[in-house]
């Protein structure tokens, strides 16, 4: 059963920033990045517990073909995606963001 997704503004901004970065190299890459983010979001909605726990209640779904992951947690009524981070980014960044939620 597909659950409702709540994409926080910070996650939207992360995705837009990465998409812009790839657009600078090639508009095709920017489009492919956005498609990968949407595909990953759909997979999360369909299999919310199917991705690894990386810290306490935080799960990470890695994106296909890009070194990024969508970070999320399960709320009472939705799946909350709070960030889209490069795999090499310092994990303290998303840990702090999660604490602030």
Structural domain boundaries in the chain = 5-100
pTM value? 0.86
Report, as an integer, the average pLDDT of 10-22.
Answer: 96
User: For residues 58 and 26, what is the distance between their CA atoms, to the nearest angstrom?
Assistant: 32
Contacting residues for 65 by C-beta, under 8 A, at least 6 apart: 32, 36
Pick the closest to residue 97 from 27, 20, 10, 3 (CA basis): 10
5-100 carries CATH number 3.20.20.220: no
pLDDT of residue 97: 65
- Give yes or no for a contact between 85 and 19, defined as CB atoms under 8 angstroms apart: no
Higher local confidence (pLDDT), 27 or 86: 86
pLDDT of 4 strictly over 80: yes
């Amino acid at each position: 059963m597909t659950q409702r997704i709540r994409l926080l503004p910070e996650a939207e901004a992360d995705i837009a920033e990465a998409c812009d970065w790839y657009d600078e190299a090639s508009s095709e890459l920017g489009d492919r990045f956005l498609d990968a983010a949407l595909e990953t979001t759909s997979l999360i909605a369909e299999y919310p517990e199917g991705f690894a726990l990386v810290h306490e209640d935080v799960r990470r779904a890695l994106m296909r073909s890009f070194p990024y992951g969508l970070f999320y947690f399960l709320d009472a009524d939705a799946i909350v995606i709070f960030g889209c981070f490069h795999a090499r980014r310092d994990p303290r960044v998303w840990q702090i963001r999660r604490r602030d939620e």
